[in-house]
Amino acid sequence: MAYIGRFAPTPSGPLHFGSLVAALASYLDARANQGRWLVRIEDLDPPRTAPGSIDAIFRCLEAFGLHWDGEPMYQSLRQDAYQHALSQLQQQQLVYACSCSRSQFVSNPDYSCNCRQTAPSSQPVAMKVIAADTRFTVQDLILPPQTQHLAQQVGDFVVQRKDQLFAYQLAVVVDDAAQNISHVMRGSDLYDQTPRQAWLQACLQLPQPHYAHIPIITNTQGQKLSKQNLAAALDLKQAPALLSEALERLGQATPCNFRQAPVAEQLAWAVEQWDIKAIPARKQDPIAFA
């Protein structure tokens, strides 16, 4: 099977150090396996797309020498594909309309949705997929295999929101298949969600890529670096030093004085030396990024 990897940022703000580590890991694993490396802009929720952030992401990847193959894919242009997938689920009677509101779940932890039994009368509705009522296991190339009983541990989950936007879970499996992604390497915050994606792949008869989850980078409060908690944008003037720090977080031993080496030189060396087994098998990097 030809190796095709991807980086799939949500353009809700500029890339931060955690995004760099994820982009770098997927890039190096693809290049070390003579693979292609694609970029997909996950602008599924247009109001959350920060103005200028898509261009800033491309400029940032280029500044770090992370050159992608082909044209980027944009989720905002993929509504027909998601609608087609939803229709396939509807034909198999694997989805149902749900009129519950988020606040019902949030205000009452014991709230249980009955929409699967009683067709909701009021509009608008979200569409939920029926969770697998069995235990199944998804392998990971870094973390241990993960066994989940989706119906008991997660429950039915949303594939199209009430505001008609398609949910990440549906879009990601449709797009990974459309881009023929063979390897998904990303932050471990998505590890627990992978069985949901594997279930949708099974329902839609899509191939399952290999998954590899890397430790997430946190701030000094122990939170994952993210746009929500205002992680600093990557400083492009510091690209060589940041790239070599990202390599260290991925467990790749770097030569002395590497922090000053041009990014192209660092990447060429890192592709040559790449060792996926050296990536720490843990969900979180123990050192905060300050």
Residues that bind ligand GLU (CB under 6 A): 8-10, 42, 172, 186, 190
Q: Provide the minimum distance between the beta carbon of 288 and ligand GLU in the complex, in angstroms, as a whole number.
A: 19
Nearer to ligand GLU, 10 or 53 (CB): 10
Q: Provide the minimum distance between the beta carbon of 201 and ligand GLU in the complex, in angstroms, as a whole number.
A: 13
Q: What is the 3-state secondary structure (H, E, C) of the chain?
A: CCCEEEECCCCCCCCCHHHHHHHHHHHHHHHHCCCEEEEEECCCCHHHCCCCHHHHHHHHHHHCCCCCCCCCEEHHHCHHHHHHHHHHHHHCCCEEEECCCHHHHHHCCCCCCCCCCCCCCCCCCEEEECCCCCEEEECCCCCCCEEEEHHHHCCCEEEECCCCCECHHHHHHHHHHHCCCCEEEEEHHHHHHHHHHHHHHHHCCCCCCEEEEECECECCCCCECCCCCCCCCCCHHHHHHHHHHHHHHCCCCCCCCHHHCCHHHHHHHHHHHCCHHHCCCCCECCCCCC
Q: Provide the minimum distance between the beta carbon of 10 and ligand GLU in the complex, in angstroms, as a whole number.
A: 4
Q: Provide the minimum distance between the beta carbon of 21 and ligand GLU in the complex, in angstroms, as a whole number.
A: 12
Q: Give dist(CA 210, CA 183) in Å, integer.
A: 5
What residues does 4 pair with on adjacent strands? 36
Q: Provide the minimum distance between the beta carbon of 50 and ligand GLU in the complex, in angstroms, as a whole number.
A: 13
Q: Provide the minimum distance between the beta carbon of 184 and ligand GLU in the complex, in angstroms, as a whole number.
A: 6
Q: Give dist(CA 141, CA 188) in Å, integer.
A: 12
Q: Provide the minimum distance between the beta carbon of 185 and ligand GLU in the complex, in angstroms, as a whole number.
A: 8
